């Protein structure tokens, strides 16, 4: 009998290198990543619905990670793990080139003050790392209620060589139908929601800076 998959993955401990995911999960399968899952259950539902895929949640708040792992254990999900680290570390160091089939980012912190906008996750470095880690045909699904951040996402991802797969520039609901905890909160407050779905264009953009 093989040992149970470790559910908490720390780079340099359970994960020895960016190409080590088959070793961690004990098999080779399409890899789905969510960044900043918070209190939401999207990735757990995906793991339950898609036993043929492996799922990695990245969340820097250790309390959220603990709750997430308790839920994964309660559901006996062997195809989902969590990394208690920042997106910067995870995307920069923990996934190999063309190794991820989808990245999900729902309601990243908006940092609404102009002087704090540089703290937002979606910056040119983020677009470069997403381009690097996505497998051919892989997608980034991202959503926000914050209009300035929505516009920043559109500018950064467009400048980073991504095309939007939605008919419009954004959709008011997720194509997969799941509403995250923050999405439900902001809908109750009457805010508009913006979902975007990106796939990398084939040619690498030049001069995207950042």
Ligand X SMILES: C[S@@+](CC[C@H](N)C(=O)[O-])C[C@H]1O[C@@H](n2cnc3c(N)ncnc32)[C@H](O)[C@@H]1O
The residues binding ligand X (CB under 6 A) are 35-38, 40, 58-61, 64, 86-88, 106-109, 121, 180-183
Residues whose CB falls within 8 Å of the CB of residue 114, separated by 6 or more in sequence, listed in order: none
Phi first, then psi, for residue 76 (nearest 5°) are 60, 40
Task: Select which of 109, 146, 167, 192 is catalytic.
Answer: 109
Q: How far is the CB of 3 from ligand X (least distance, A)?
A: 28
Given 3-state DSSP classes, what are the helix, strand and coil percentages for the chain, each rounded to the nearest 5?
35, 20, 45
Q: How far is the CB of 94 from ligand X (least distance, A)?
A: 12
Q: Which is nearer to ligand X, 173 or 204 (CB)?
A: 173
Q: Which is nearer to ligand X, 131 or 141 (CB)?
A: 141
Q: How far is the CB of 42 from ligand X (least distance, A)?
A: 7
List the Cα angle 95/90/54 in 5-degree steps: 55
Q: Which is nearer to ligand X, 26 or 175 (CB)?
A: 175
Residues whose CB falls within 8 Å of the CB of residue 148, separated by 6 or more in sequence, listed in order: 110, 112, 117
Instruction: For residue 109, indicate whether it is catalytic.
Output: yes
Active-site positions read 109
């Amino acid at each position: 009998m093989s040992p149970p998959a470790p559910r908490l993955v720390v780079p340099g401990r359970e994960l020895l290198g960016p190409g080590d995911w088959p070793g961690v999960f004990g098999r080779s399968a399409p890899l789905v990543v969510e960044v900043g899952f918070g209190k939401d259950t999207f990735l757990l539902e995906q793991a339950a619905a898609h036993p043929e895929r492996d799922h990695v949640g990245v969340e820097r708040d250790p309390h959220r990670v603990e709750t997430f792992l308790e839920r994964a254990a309660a559901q006996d999900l062997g195809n989902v793990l969590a990394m208690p680290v920042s997106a910067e570390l995870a995307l920069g160091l923990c996934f190999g080139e063309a190794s991820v089939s989808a990245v999900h980012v729902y309601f990243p912190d908006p940092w609404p003050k102009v002087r704090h906008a540089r703290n937002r996750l979606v910056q040119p470095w983020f677009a470069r790392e997403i381009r690097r880690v996505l497998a051919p045909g892989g997608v980034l699904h991202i959503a926000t209620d914050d209009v300035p951040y929505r516009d920043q996402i559109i500018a950064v991802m467009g400048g980073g060589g991504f095309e939007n797969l939605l008919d419009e520039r954004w959709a008011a609901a997720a194509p997969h139908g799941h509403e995250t905890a923050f999405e439900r909160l902001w809908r109750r407050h009457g805010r508009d929601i913006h979902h975007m779905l990106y796939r990398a264009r084939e040619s690498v953009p030049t001069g995207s800076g950042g």
